[in-house]
A and B are shown apart, each in its own frame.
Chain A
Amino acid sequence: MWVYEKALLYPVRVTRPDPRLAKAIITQYGGPDGELAASLRYLTQRYTMPIPQAIATLTDIGTEELAHMEIVAALVWHLIRDASLEELTAAGMGTYYADHDRALYFIDGNGARWTAAYIASKGDPVADLHENMAAEQKARATYERLIDLSDDPDATDVLRWLREREVVHFQRFGETLNLVHEYLSRRRVF
């Protein structure tokens, strides 16, 4: 089961509306390399992992990604909540407003809806862990581009922290892959 904690894992203190930036950041909510995709990818791959360290790593990183999803949601929310209709329209969010007003929805930066095609669950631990390491690098690259697009220091601060977490997760998945390789080679010997 999961237990909710009434606090963000990293504080979001954005005060200025910036729908132009929100429109870009929302891809980390519902885009191909976003936090929803990351969380569901890891949590659904757990069942076919051959060693307990891999199951634990997927459970814990999958759970942390849910906390990141909440941080990205808070970030987008703060950037659009007080934006006027004129500001939303000028930022290219007029069509988003028509469908969702200022509600959060799982889309990428171009409006494509989230799809399970964003994630893989191959049932092969080596293939799945490589998928996850690539996913972390793609998310890191996306956060770096979002940092390039941001001129709000409070938003940039949160984006930098999220970028750093992708680097750490990549490291942990690499270690997990090594442990899986060790396990597979031992199994071949005996």
Chain B
Amino acid sequence: MDAERRQLLDRLVALQFTAVELQLYLDTHPDDQRALADFNATVQDMAGVRELYESRYGPLLSYGFSSSPRSWRWVEEPWPWQT
């Protein structure tokens, strides 16, 4: 995996982790408007980075949550434990 791809994936994973952390917090603080705004902003940022990553390197999500234009790139390596 080249440096540019690695950097983009790291950005996505950082946002993904932010979303996980905010989601757990919101489960026990569903009325916290600031956390909710942070969560929704993270979702938007993630969508942009994911779209860019997937357009270059293929789908990240299975079962129809990512499309695969032109060819079936899901089978391409590396898998997460191969990098």
Contacts and interface: CB of A to CB of B under 8 A. Distances in A.
Interface in B1-48: 9-10, 12-13, 16-17, 20-21, 23-25, 27-30
B60 interface: yes
Interface string A55-77: 01100110010000010011001
Contact of B28 (A9, A11, A172): A172
Given A3-B65, A9-B16, A70-B81, A175 B9 contact: no
A4 B28 contact: no
A74 B82 CA distance: 8
B81 A57 contact: no
Most buried by A among B9, B16, B30, B81: B81
A90 interface: no
The B interface, classified by DSSP as helix, strand, loop or mixed, is helix
Given A11-B10, A77-B81, A64 B60 contact: no
Contacts of A64: 20, 24
Nearest to A104: B81
A7 B20 contact: no
Contacts of B63: 1, 3-4
B71 interface: no
A29 to B, nearest CB: 13
Contact of A7 (B13, B25, B27, B28): B13
Interface residues on B, range: 20 to 34
Nearest to B10: A11
Nearest to B21: A168
A39 interface: no
Contact of B81 (A8, A56, A176): A8
Given A70-B80, A70-B81, A172-B24, A9 B62 contact: no
A97 B20 CA distance: 36
Given A7-B80, A176-B27, A179-B28, 13 more contacts: A1-B63, A5-B61, A5-B62, A6-B62, A6-B74, A7-B9, A7-B16, A7-B60, A11-B13, A53-B28, A56-B27, A74-B81, A172-B25
22 contacts: A1-B63, A3-B62, A3-B65, A4-B61, A5-B61, A6-B59, A6-B74, A7-B60, A8-B13, A8-B80, A11-B10, A53-B28, A53-B30, A56-B27, A57-B24, A60-B24, A60-B27, A74-B81, A78-B81, A168-B21, A172-B25, A179-B28
